[in-house]
Amino acid sequence: MLLAGDIGGTKAVLALFDHREGKPFPVAERTYPSQGIISLAETVLDFLAQTARARGGRAIRAACFALAAPVYGPAYTFTNLALTVNPEQVRKQLSFIPCLQFINDLEALGHWILSTEEQDCFCLYAGRPAGDDRASLNKAVIAPGTGLGEALILGGREVYPTEGGHADFAPQEETDIELLRFLQRDYDHVSYERVLSGPGLVNIYRFLSRRQGQPL
C-alpha cells in the first residue's frame, strides 16, 4: 500500500493507494486545513488512525509528500504557510514506512503531466508545437493557487521545480504599472504571485475598485 500527500498553502490532502491491474487505486482520502497543521508527522498519524479500517492491517510500503515549499537543505520552509518540515524528524516519527520521500508540489505535477493521457487534460489553447514530436517538447507548468507555482519539463523527461512565481512583477502597460504602484503600498516586493494567485485576484479586485471609485 502507498501513502501520498499534497501539502499546499490552503489545504493538505492525504490518500492511501493500492495496486489493482498494475495501476494505483485510491483506498482512502482525507483533507486537512493547512493552517491547522503543526506537525506533518502528527497529521499523517492522525490520518492513518482515521483510515485504519480501510487499510485493513496492510503495511505501507512507501510514502511521498509533495510540498508547496523549496525541497532542499536540512528543513523545508513553506512560503505561504507558517510550517517547516524537518525531513529526518518526519522519517523518525514514521519509521514504520520503509521508503519515505519528499518532493516539490510542482515537480510532482510535472511528473503527473508526463504520465497522463491527453484525454485527461482540458485544452485551453492548442497553439502550434515547434516540432512533430510533442512528447519531447519543453513545457512550462504554471499553477496559480494560494501562491504561484512554476516548473519546467525539459526534453519531455526531466522535471525542474522553480521559484519563478517570486520573480519581480514587471508590467509594461499603463494600467498594469498603476497596479504595480498600488501594490507597492502594501508589499516591499511585488512579485507575479501578488497578481497571479488566489490572493492576487483579491489584489486586482481591490485595485480596480479603487480605480473606479467603488467601495470594496
Domain 2-107 has CATH 3.10.129.10: no
Kindly list the domain boundaries of the chain, sorted by start residue: 2-107, 117-165, 167-211
- pLDDT band for position 216 (cuts 50, 70, 90): low
CA distances, 195 to each of 111, 124, 125, 148, 209 (Å): 26, 20, 22, 9, 15
pLDDT in tens, 29-40: 999 999 999 999
Residue 5 has pLDDT above 90, yes or no: yes
Distance (Å, rounded) from C-alpha 124 to C-alpha 152?
19
Contacts of 158 (CB under 8 A, 6+ apart): none
Mean of pLDDT values over 172-191: 97
- pLDDT exceeds 80 at position 15: yes
pTM: 0.87
Q: How many whole angstroms from its chain centre is CA 188? A: 24
Instruction: Output phi, psi for 140, to 5 deg.
Output: -110, 135
Q: For residue 191, is pLDDT > 90? A: yes
